Amino acid sequence: MQLLLIHSDYIEYETKKRTPVAEEIDPAMKSSRMEEVLTAFVAVESYDEADPIATAENAADEIRKLAGQVKTERIMLYPYAHLSSELAKPVVAVDVLKKLEETLSRDYEVKRAPFGWYKAFKVSCKGHPLSELSRTIRVGTEGKGEKEGRDEIVSEALKSEEKAISHWHVLTLDGELLPIEDFDFKEHPILLSFAEYETSKSRAVDKIPPHVELMRRLELADYEPGSDSGNMRFYPKGTLIKRLLEAHVLDTVGGMGAVEVETPVMYDVNHPTLKKYLDRFPARQYSIESDKRSFFLRFAACFGQFLMNHDMTISHRNLPLKMVEMTRYSFRREQHGELVGLRRLRAFTMPDMHTLCADMDHAIDEFKDQYTMCMKMLADIGLEDDYEVAIRFTRDFYTENQDFIKELVGIVGKPALIELWDSRFFYFVIKFEFNYIDALKKASALSTVQIDVENAERYDIKYIDKNGTEQRPTILHCSPSGAIERCIYALLEKAHLTSKAGGVPSLPTWLSPTQVRLIPVAERHIGYAGEVTAAMNDIRADIDDRDETVGKRVRAAGREWIPYVVVIGDKELESGVLSVTIRSESRKVEETAQELRSRVIAEIAEMPYRQINLPVLLSKRPVFFG
RNA sequence: GCCGCUGUGGCUUAGCUCGGUAAAGCGGCUGAUUCGUAAUCAGCAGAUCGUGGGUUCGAAUCCCACCGGCGGCUCCA
């Protein structure tokens, strides 16, 4: 919206002739005059269609501010199309103007000139410094015009979340639902940290997150100053780790019947179905303007998959129907203060799977399966005992499904934090998350599954049952690993904790960018090292052929957390037996190249493999960081 | 978004209080060295001191604004 504000001695107008978009008016509006008045010329623009109400509210705030400064009690709203070349549809414009009039009428004497008429007018400007001002009102974008902050899209869900009342409990292994203050946390210190974090009791910490330093030192990822905050760059080693994690998630859900799809990253804010969904999802969006349409960037794959489901013909024989997408990226415009390293990003990679189930009973069965699958997923990633469970649901759902919920605690074998809502604020009736708690006692959700009881209806998704009649499926949302970047964050934080406790920090072998490092003692051993890597071409082996002492190169391999380090000299050249240092056990073994290769292959067993993502010779590698 | 702290070669930092030719280590490059499990020696290159304004004869240093980062608050699908 464009505003031109004139502090006037008087404004008067007289309607002359209607245009094709003219609104119907009563005789009183045909001509008018106000004195000692703030005249507001208004052009409602196409961008404002994304959120007419917020636009009107923001504009009203701006007008109030100036009215206060120039100490006037009267306001004339005057539609003035010529302030913009990107006008809104007339219907929307009239709505916004009426809303603006209504809002301001509470505190001021307000008149509104009719929309869509040719009018003769006279205005007298007072001419003092504040008497002429223009303002651009933009909802959902920042830094345009003089308005900053507070004019972002805040969805209804985000607003209702502020009002939602949570009841906190712990569900014990005995199936007891205890109020949080009655639970004895003595045996469960991390669950206590998690509970405190969630309920915001204490969070006194003043350290830099360890993973931020590690992600750079290990040349995995870094901030990208050329982009928006929270949009990271990934170096080759970080990219490799990401691809491996992604592959493992896709393989796992593929194994349980999910089919992989791809959907667009941006959607029209004015699409009626999407608009309603936005209002039920508590996240802030990036919005972008293209020609005259406004789009938002997706924060998950729900939109694309549901729109696809809507157009599909689905039989009960196809259920449960699973579709998955590795969203590169999901975008969420998090508040600045919440962004840290790889923990919380504005652009992130997340596996997003949706399962259409025949009804709630089937959904509950599937939920259980996926819950178990998520446990295995985190164990595979290397976070087996490193998460706490949160289960959140509505009171109604609990009443009807107590046994099911108790079973979940039994499966994971430890008490869970429970959040209970009196009524349903979101699209789901139950969700769980597995949360990683880091050294700074901050909690981050990884795996999650939710049972959605709203979107089948909203997107008009249906299947045909045995009797040939249409039914609404119940939909599960599942992210088996949570955001991929966040998994890397958790692994780095975990390694840091290990190191602080006196252990050897490391990544799981299947995720290590280099699995075997060969260190030729002298130049004449490089050729043989090359033969050894050739014999190990299905694991990631590389050669530190730099002209440095053995000691220095061994140290470098240690700083890279490489699981197996081999020094190759005359002895190995003659015997064909290698001296292998096993990082995790801090000991040396004598093995042939084939034995070492088999050891690594056995260790990464069912996990995905990709070839090394840098030159095998370290002398050929550029330095990405430090 | 708000409050506080912070920003100096690729990296880590010194210099800033009290304005006067930007210093070191690591890394990189070149050469020597061909070395047996956590840092070999020598030399060289590399900095519009976050950006933009201001004060001053003179600004990395003082002032203002903005932009990143970190911590806290808020919040977390």
Q: What is the pLDDT of residues A195-211, one digit of tens each?
A: 888 876 434 344 568 89
Residue A179 β-bridge partners? A169
Q: How far apart are CA A133 and CA A172, in angstroms?
A: 62
Report phi then psi at A237, rounded to 5: -65, -40
**pLDDT tens-digit series, residues A2-34:** 788 888 888 888 887 777 777 777 777 888 888
Assess whether A574 (CB) lies less than 7 A from strand B.
no
Assess whether A379 (CB) lies less than 7 A from strand B.
no
Phi/psi region, residue A507 (left: phi>0; alpha: psi -120 to 50; beta: rest), is beta
Q: Which of residues 144-203 of A touch strand B (CB under 7 A)?
A: 148-150, 161-162, 197-198, 200, 203
What three-state secondary structure class fits A95? helix
CA of A619 to C1' of B45 (A): 19
More confident residue, A149 or A509: A509
Structure tokens of A533?
Answer: 């890597």
Is residue A469 predicted with pLDDT exceeding 70?
A: yes
Residue A349 β-bridge partners? A328
What three-state secondary structure class fits A404? helix
Q: Which of residues 298-327 of A touch strand B (CB under 7 A)?
A: 299-300
Protein residue closest via CA to C1' of B76: A444
User: Average pLDDT of A532-551?
Assistant: 95
Q: Which nucleotide is nearest to A621 (CA to C1')?
A: B28
Is residue A147 predicted with pLDDT exceeding 60?
A: no
CA of A188 to C1' of B9 (A): 49
pLDDT of residue A130: 65
User: Which of the four pLDDT bands, split at 50, 70 and 90, describes residue A149?
Assistant: very low
Q: Residue A615 carries which side chain, given as an amino acid letter? A: P
CA of A557 to C1' of B12 (A): 20
**pLDDT tens-digit series, residues A479-492:** 999 999 999 999 99
Contact in structure between A392 and A421 (CB atoms under 8 Å) = yes
User: Which of the four pLDDT bands, split at 50, 70 and 90, describes residue A152?
Assistant: very low
User: Average pLDDT of A66-72?
Assistant: 77
Lowest mean pLDDT across A198-212, A316-330, A455-469, A473-487: A198-212
Pairing of strands A347-357, A321-331: antiparallel
Q: What is the mean pLDDT of chain A?
A: 87
What three-state secondary structure class fits A224? coil
pLDDT of residue A85: 60
Most distant CA pair in chain A: distance in Å?
107
Pairing of strands A117-125, A221-223: unpaired
Q: Which nucleotide is nearest to A443 (CA to C1')?
A: B76
Task: State percent of chain A over pLDDT 70.
Answer: 91
3-state DSSP percent of chain A in helix, strand and coil, to 5: 35, 30, 35
CA dihedral over A427, A257, A378, A209, signed as positive or negative:
negative
A166: nearest Cα among A477, A417, A507: A417
Pairing of strands A31-43, A516-520: unpaired
Structure tokens of A172?
Answer: 């014990």
A526: nearest Cα among A468, A576, A569: A569
Residue A118 β-bridge partners? A17
Residue owning tokens 């919005």: A287
User: Which of the four pLDDT bands, split at 50, 70 and 90, describes residue A143?
Assistant: very low
Q: Which of residues 344-363 of A touch strand B (CB under 7 A)?
A: 344
Q: How far is CA A600 from CA A201, A307, A464, in A?
A: 45, 44, 49
Q: How far apart are CA A501 and CA A427, in angstroms?
A: 42
Assess whether A143 (CB) lies less than 7 A from strand B.
yes
User: Which of the four pLDDT bands, split at 50, 70 and 90, describes residue A148?
Assistant: very low
**pLDDT tens-digit series, residues A385-426:** 899 999 999 999 999 999 999 999 999 999 999 999 888 878
CB atoms within 10 A of CB A280: 18
User: Which of the four pLDDT bands, split at 50, 70 and 90, describes residue A141?
Assistant: very low
pLDDT of residue A506: 95
Contact in structure between A72 and A41 (CB atoms under 8 Å) = no
What three-state secondary structure class fits A583? helix
CA dihedral over A614, A618, A623, A625, signed as positive or negative:
positive
Q: Which of residues 581-620 of A touch strand B (CB under 7 A)?
A: 581, 588, 619
Is residue A503 predicted with pLDDT exceeding 70?
A: yes
**pLDDT tens-digit series, residues A81-96:** 777 666 777 788 888 8
Report phi then psi at A379, rounded to 5: -65, -45
**pLDDT tens-digit series, residues A333-380:** 888 778 888 998 999 999 999 999 999 999 999 999 999 999 999 999
Contact in structure between A34 and A6 (CB atoms under 8 Å) = no
CB atoms within 10 A of CB A368: 15
Assess whether A559 (CB) lies less than 7 A from strand B.
yes
Structure tokens of A118?
Answer: 């040719």
Contact in structure between A140 and A58 (CB atoms under 8 Å) = no
Q: Which nucleotide is nearest to A282 (CA to C1')?
A: B77
Structure tokens of A225?
Answer: 């100053």
Across A176-276, where does the E strand assignment appear? 177-179, 221-223, 232-234, 259-260, 266-268
**pLDDT tens-digit series, residues A586-603:** 999 999 999 999 999 999
Instruction: Supply the angle between the helices A526-535 and A593-604 in degrees, to the nearest 10.
Output: 40
A121: nearest Cα among A80, A72, A73, A90: A80
Assess whether A448 (CB) lies less than 7 A from strand B.
yes
Assess whether A255 (CB) lies less than 7 A from strand B.
no
Strand B nucleotides where any atom sits below 7 Å of a protein CB: 1-3, 10-12, 26-29, 32-40, 67-77
User: Average pLDDT of A486-502?
Assistant: 92
ipTM given for this complex: 0.89
CB atoms within 10 A of CB A622: 7
Contact in structure between A325 and A304 (CB atoms under 8 Å) = yes
Assess whether A432 (CB) lies less than 7 A from strand B.
no
pTM of structure: 0.77
DSSP A148-180: -SS-S---HHHHHHHH--EEEEEE-TTS-EEEG
Protein residue closest via CA to C1' of B11: A626
pLDDT of residue A127: 67
Protein residue closest via CA to C1' of B71: A206
More confident residue, A578 or A58: A578
Q: Which of residues 60-119 of A touch strand B (CB under 7 A)?
A: none
DSSP A598-624: HHHHHHHTTS-----SS-SBGGGPPPS
CB atoms within 10 A of CB A365: 13
User: Average pLDDT of A276-282?
Assistant: 65
Lowest mean pLDDT across A97-106, A214-223, A323-332, A548-557: A97-106
Lowest mean pLDDT across A26-35, A42-51, A598-607: A42-51
Q: How far apart are CA A237 and CA A214, in angstroms?
A: 12
Q: How far apart are CA A460 and CA A129, in angstroms?
A: 56
Q: Residue A388 carries which side chain, given as an amino acid letter? A: E
Q: How far apart are CA A385 and CA A300, in angstroms?
A: 27
User: Average pLDDT of A154-176?
Assistant: 72
| Residues whose CB is less than 8 angstroms from the CB of residue A513 and which lie 6 or more positions away in sequence, other chains included | A236, A237, A240, A241, A540, A560, A612, A613, A614
**CA torsion, ordered A27, A33, A37, A43, to nearest 10 deg:** 50
Task: State percent of chain A over pLDDT 90.
Answer: 55
